[in-house]
Chains A and B, each alone.
Chain A
């Protein structure tokens, strides 16, 4: 866990301008990785009943819906 924190620090010092947005992708991938570790092991989701896992999936899914569908409005406005 602590070592993942270190990778974040490392990823941050790098100048990730090989292509636009790589920085964000790296940072968020590490965050997602860390979060899933916490959920799966610290919170024992891996060993929980199916319905608990369903709750987790549902909340992430709904969050994704909100972000994705709202941004889909903003990002396609210029297309017409």
Chain B
């Protein structure tokens, strides 16, 4: 007779759709987020095929504009932002701090329904006329001139904002009040720290974009003039308000991925993370300073020179905590006991890609260079390195890392390593040429381009097809493993966090007895319960240099 756990505790569609179990809600999110990923991915594929020839291969310029807009909206608002927080965060955060559930389970379920409602508005917009404003919804193009279905899309993103807000609220409160005995702030796993930092952005940033898009929607419906210069409004104000959220939103996407990486690296190097408090602190620093840099998206709108100088300076400051993280991860590898398991491949891939993405950000934050690079393919390549190379690699890596916990099954390791390598290579081939394109001056959002850019575009498209394969593979074998995979056991890697102390899959109430935390995070040396041979004095063992 199989043990009872959260998956088999109750049966039937109602027990899923009305569940308040954070683990089941995480799976609901997993399904819906994956759906939007493939919607966005389909658009991306069409974009890349279209750009094979200078004149455009596939569609009219009008359709092309809709494709990249819908790609952006689906990927950013409905995949990247909820991906790690709402799937992995939802599943793991309560377990990692030793709680039975989030602080407000019903609100958690509500936020999934809000997500669905927002998502259906957006899908409605996609299927009736599409959306051609760019994901940035710049006014007055979106509020006056566009002929596409802007209103439902704006409403959809507006509604979806509340889903993020409620998730963030739930996380912050949970971390504050629901920790198990002994789980002090500096014993929290770094993943929890990163989720906490992300939630700060959810709480303080998301309402601003909600009201901004609402105003833009009202402007479109009732011909008001908030952002319409012909009626005395100011389109630049829209950009200020938009980026007040949307720049921190970049950190919403990357911070949780950084959290995942901070979990994977110590596990597969079998040693404590280097500079725990600096990694934790840098998450918070990124969340806070990330709010003070938004107008670096607007250096060339005619904003004041002084404002531009301030925002450029602050943008450089926000680069420092990210650099600190990278240095600390790299140092964690030093004298570790490193294995080649799939999550580790993703984590190392993440560092490499994030490094390139982050360093090219320095180019863009530089006022003088931004004059040339702004709104070119350089920007596209930069943020795809951060978001796909960073956030998606982190998400997929985390999914692999915790897959045994979520499903209780192991995935086929060999296939998974192949997929990780394919993803890494395909990604670089897709986006590295775009840096060069951007440097040569190819503007973004172009349905057709001068012929001299063709070679690099073809390379990029070739890479994209490899990348697409790289995404299909995990999709297939992970689904396969749910049924046919090997049984994982509670702690296959082994990891040190509380989530590995409970059976896989965890019982509905997460722990059979409330755990008490008596150890420091990632402390492999003092954990006889993991069944590993421990080292004595640090400097004597293992190291030969």
Direct contact between A and B in the complex (CB less than 8 angstroms)? yes
Chain A interfacial positions (CB closer than 8 Å to B): 51, 58-59, 62, 65-66, 69-70, 72-77, 79-80
For residue A5, give the distance in angstroms from its CB to the closest CB of chain B. Answer: 28
Interface size for B (C-beta < 8 A) is 18
Residue pair A72, B306 in contact (C-beta under 8 Å) = yes
B28 to chain A, nearest CB (A): 29
Which B residues have a C-beta under 8 Å from some C-beta of A? 176, 204, 208, 236-237, 240-241, 244, 291-292, 295, 302-307, 310
CA separation between A34 and B19, bound complex, in Å? 44
Q: What is the minimal beta-carbon distance from A27 to any residue of chain B, in angstroms?
A: 23
Report B-chain residues with C-beta under 8 Å of the C-beta of A76: 304-307
- Selected contact of A73 from candidates B176, B241, B291, B303, CB within 8 Å: B303
| Subset of 22 A-B contacts with CB under 8 Å | A51-B176, A58-B204, A65-B292, A66-B208, A66-B241, A69-B292, A69-B295, A69-B310, A70-B237, A70-B240, A72-B310, A73-B236, A73-B295, A73-B303, A73-B304, A73-B307, A75-B304, A76-B305, A76-B306, A77-B303, A79-B305, A79-B306
Query: Are A65 and B303 in contact, CB atoms less than 8 angstroms apart?
Result: no
Take A59-B204, A62-B204, A66-B208 as given contacts and tell me if A72 and B307 are in contact as well, using a CB distance cutoff of 8 Å.
yes
**Contact status of A80 and B305, CB under 8 A, knowing A72-B310, A73-B240:** yes
Contact A79 B304 (CB under 8 A): yes
- A66: nearest residue on chain B (CB-CB)? B244
B-side contacts of A72, CB under 8 Å: 304, 306-307, 310
A-chain residues with CB within 8 Å of residue B176 when the two chains form the complex: 51
For B240, the chain A residues whose CB sits under 8 A away are: 70, 73
* Residue of A whose beta carbon sits closest to that of B294: A69
**What is the chain A residue whose CB lies nearest that of B314?**
A69
Q: How distant is the Cα of A77 from the Cα of B304 in the complex, in angstroms?
A: 4
Q: How many Å lie between the Cα of A69 and that of B241 in the bound state?
A: 11
Closest to A49 in B: B176
Q: Which residue of A lies closest to B306 (CB)?
A: A76
In the complex, A74→B307 CA distance in Å? 9
Q: Could you say which residues of chain A place their CB within 8 Å of the CB of B303?
A: 73, 77
Known A69-B292, A72-B306, A80-B305; further 7 A-B contacts with Cβ < 8 A: A51-B176, A59-B204, A69-B307, A70-B244, A73-B236, A73-B295, A79-B305
- Contact flag A65-B291 (CB < 8 Å), given A51-B176, A73-B240: yes
Cα(A76)–Cα(B240), bound, Å: 15
